[in-house]
Amino acid sequence: MHPVHNRTRRRARAQALVKAANLHATDVAFVDAAKYVDKPYFAAAAVAPDGTALNALTIQTQKGCEVEQVAIALALALPQRDTIFTDSKPAALAYGRGAICQAALSILESAQINVDKHIHWFPGHEGLKRFNQDLTRRAGTRAGSPAGDPNTHREPLLSYHEICSHYNWINQRRSPDRALQHPAVQKAQKVAGELRLPVPTWAEPPDRPP
C-alpha cells in the first residue's frame, strides 16, 4: 500500500493491527529506527504496544535497511515476544529470504532463539509511530546527538505492482483524458485491438438425407 495514495487503507490496517496487538500485548513488539543528525549513526528500538521501551541500541552504518534489520533482531531476542511488527518492507523481506546483515545475525546468534517467531509489516506512519519516534529520538539524545527523521530512509516501491500503481495514479491525477491521449497509450491500445481475435463461428451442417 502506497504511503500517499493509499493513506486511508493504511490507517485502517494500522488500527486493526493495533487492536489485535493489544489483545496479546505481552507477546507483541513494534520496532523502528531513526538516523542521527549529521552523523553516520542510527538508533534502533523495540517497544511494547503501550509504548514501553523493551530494547534499544545505536549502530554505526549508512544503510537504513540494515538498521531496521537490527531493530527486528532486538525484538526477536526478547524471550516473550513472538510477534514482531516493522514498518520496513525491505527489512521484513530480508528476513523472509534469509539474507540479513551481519549485525542482526550476531544479535540473533547470541540470543539463541528456539521458538517460532513471526514478523509482520505495519504501516509505520500510522498508529504506534509516535511511540517509536519518541524512543529512537531519546536513544539518540542519550548518545549525544538527536536522532533525525525516521522516515528519510524509506519507503521504497519494491514490487512491479507498486511501481505501476504509482505512475498510474500520477497520470490520473494530472488528467485522465490527457493520459489516454498519450501516444504510448494509443499505440498500446492499437496493438491490443489488432491482437484481439474474432470469436470463431461454424455453420450448421446440412441435414443428412434419410
pLDDT digits (tens, 9 = 90+) for 28-78: 999 988 888 778 888 999 998 888 889 999 999 888 889 999 999 999 999
Q: Give the pLDDT score at 113.
A: 82
Report DSSP letters for the chain, one per residue: --TTTTHHHHHHHHHHHHHHHHHTGGGEEEEEEEEBTTSSEEEEEEE-TT--EEEEEEEE-S-HHHHHHHHHHHHHTSTT--EEEES-HHHHHHHHHT---HHHHHHHHHHT--S--EEEE--TTSTTHHHHHHHHHHHHHHTTS-B--TTTT-----SHHHHHHHHHHHHHHH-HHHHHTSHHHHHHHHHHHHH-PPPP--PPPPPPP-
Q: Which of 86, 89, 56, 57 is nearest to 72 (CA)?
A: 86
The residue that leads in pLDDT, 24 or 155, is 24
pLDDT more than 70, % of the chain: 53
Q: Give the pLDDT score at 73.
A: 95
Q: Give the pLDDT score at 72.
A: 95
pTM across the whole model: 0.63
The residue that leads in pLDDT, 109 or 157, is 109
Q: Give the pLDDT score at 143.
A: 46
C-alpha distances in angstroms, 146 versus 31, 136, 154?
18, 9, 19
What integer is the mean pLDDT of 72-97?
91
Greatest mean pLDDT range, 24-38, 118-132, 160-174, 189-203: 24-38
What integer is the mean pLDDT of 110-136?
70
Q: Give the pLDDT score at 174.
A: 62
What integer is the mean pLDDT of 10-31?
79
The residue that leads in pLDDT, 118 or 8, is 118
Domain 7-142 fold is Nucleotidyltransferase; domain 5 (3.30.420)
Look over the chain and give the mean of its residue pLDDT values, rounded to a whole number: 73
Using the predicted structure, report yes or no on whether residue 10 has a pLDDT greater than 80. no
Domain spans in the chain, listed from the N-terminal domain onward: 7-142, 160-195
| Rounded Cα gap, residues 126 and 196, in angstroms | 45
